[in-house]
Amino acid sequence: MTKKPLHQILTFLIAAVWLVNGLICKVLNLVPRHQEIVARIMGGEYARTLTIMIGVSEIAMAVWIISGRFARLNAITQMVVIAVMNTLEFILVPDLLLWGRFNAVFAFLLITLIYFNEFRLRTQSTQQV
C-alpha cells in the first residue's frame, strides 16, 4: 500500500472518531457519561447545552478534517484539544472516564496517530507526487 492511500484512510478514521464522539456520544446523548463529565467540570445547570455545543464542535472538527483545508493547523488544533481535554479529565474526573486514568494512554496514541498522519505520511505522499 502506498503512503497516500494510507494517509487518506487514516484521515477518514480520525474524522470518524470526532464524528462519533460529537454526534453519537454528545449530541444524541447515547453515552450519558460525557454529559456527566461536563456537569462535574462545568456545573450541572448548563451541562446538556454545553455538551451539545462540544458535540457540534467535534462534528465541525470532523468536517474540517475531511475538507483538508489548513491541514497542519487542523492537526495541531486536534492534538492540543485532545491533550487539554484529557489532562483536565485525568485530574478532575478520572472516575468517569471509560478506562480511568488509563485513558491518557489512548489520548497519547491518538495524538501520535494524528501527528504521524499529518507530519509524516502526508509530507511523504506529497513529496512522491
Query: Domain segments of the chain: what residues?
Result: 3-123
Going by the DSSP 8-state scheme, the letter that residue 97 receives in this structure is S
- Encode the chain (129 residues) as per-residue pLDDT tens digits: 566 899 999 999 999 999 999 999 999 999 999 999 999 999 999 999 999 999 999 999 999 999 999 999 999 999 999 999 999 999 999 999 999 999 999 999 999 999 999 999 987 656 554
Extract long-range pairs of 116-120: CB within 8 Å, 24+ residues apart: 116/10, 117/7, 117/10, 117/11, 117/14, 117/75, 118/71, 118/72, 118/74, 118/75, 119/72, 119/75
Q: Can you tell me whether residue 98 is helix, strand or coil?
A: coil
